[in-house]
Structure 1
Amino acid sequence: MERIYIGMGSNLADPAEQLRSAVDALGQLPDSALVGVSAFYQSDSLLPGQPRYTNAVAALDSTLAPLELLDALQAIENGQGRERLERWGPRTLDLDILLFGDRLIDEPRLKVPHYHMQERAFVLYPLAELAPEDLHLADGRTLADLLKACPFVGLERLAHA
């Protein structure tokens, strides 16, 4: 089994409920065990004019292969009404593989560690609730290093999942 961290986000159709439903679905994945879920956080959208996002991170132990897991996550997104109309557009649910054990994955459909995660407070702070601060990324930086470089700005911590 490998420890996998999944970023979750929603800004449409009752975002907190979308995340709760996603957590339930993650707990039902085959050959996997849901280990933990961070608190929910609200943040502004990356693009102006969109509703605020609700974000969280889930920790999963799984023997699924990376692309099998990606397919399962996309099936969960689709089941919750996800439409892929525009990059960074509003969405009912976004599930991203942030980290997959200590693997570096560079496939056309999947890049791990997730691109830009080191710059996104709405990813790093929920991740820090579940992952050890001495967690090392492939480039040698620790989660603690990333947190120091990415201030807790524009985030609002909500109730736990």
Structure 2
Amino acid sequence: MDNRTGRLLVALGANLPIGGQTALATLRLAAQALVSHGLALDFSRFYATPCFPAGAGPDYVNAAAAGVAPAGWSADRVLAVLHRIEHDFGRQREQRWGMRTLDLDLVAFGDAVMPDAETQTRWRSLDAATQASTAPDRLILPHPRLQDRAFVLVPLADVAPDWRHPLLGLTTLEMLAALPAADREQVVPIIA
């Protein structure tokens, strides 16, 4: 799959300490790791966000990154790099939407729709209970829940406000504006 519009979008999050460092320190180091693995990215500010789903653990630190994938890289190759970095930071995939030392999500890869529009739409349309208990067995792009999550869209608006969802036709800013004000207001910039 080619990266026709050139945009690579990544969401970053953490809510568990690792090796005596805070989630904020982890995200800063993860940003460096992304760059050292060949991904030329611009990073958003860091944000404090309530744990999702509510009450599931400590609050998160979130950020987003945008850039261009290296020539010849596929979405699967980018995802493999993200998973390798997560592993290096102690990520264990034991529980869906569980607490984590590091979460790196490939949100979009150009204007690619993967594996196809019908599958992406089906995953995007799942009810909340099914989303919480079911994980796809392959990469779904754009990320099927990005339009629902202020903790992704607020940071993404820092680095890719005009990115347009290839199926919804909405920009990052338009998807963000469609969320309830209370959701947007819970995502607070960290001054550090």
TM-score normalised by length of structure 2: 0.76
Kindly provide the CA deviation profile for residues 1-44 of structure 1, in whole angstroms up to 9, marking residues without a partner as x: 722010000000111011011100111123x322x100011111
> RMSD in angstroms over aligned alpha carbons?
1.6
2:57 to 42, 50, 59: 50
- Number of residue equivalences: 157
1:85 to 94, 101, 116: 94
Matches within 5 A, 1:67-78: 67-78=76-87
Q: Using the alignment, how far apart are the partners of 1:157 and 1:144 within structure 2? A: 17
Asked if residue 94 in structure 1 is aligned to residue 106 in structure 2, the reply is no
Unaligned 5+ runs, structure 2: 117-136
Matches within 5 A, 1:4-153: 4-13=8-17, 14-30=22-38, 32-34=39-41, 36-47=42-53, 48-62=55-69, 63=71, 64-106=73-115, 108-133=137-162, 135-138=163-166, 139-150=168-179, 151=181, 152-153=184-185
4+ runs deviating over 4 angstroms: none
Unaligned 5+ runs, structure 1: none
Q: What's the counterpart of residue 119 of structure 2? A: none
Percent identical pairs in the alignment equals 37
Q: Using the alignment, how far apart are the partners of 2:98 and 2:67 within structure 1? A: 26
Cα shift at 1:60: 2.6
Between Structure 1 and Structure 2, which shows a larger proportion of strand residues? 1
Shift of the 49–101 alpha-carbon distance from structure 1 to 2, 3 Å rule, reads closer
Q: Using the alignment, how far apart are the partners of 1:132 and 1:50 within structure 2? A: 30
Larger Rg: 2
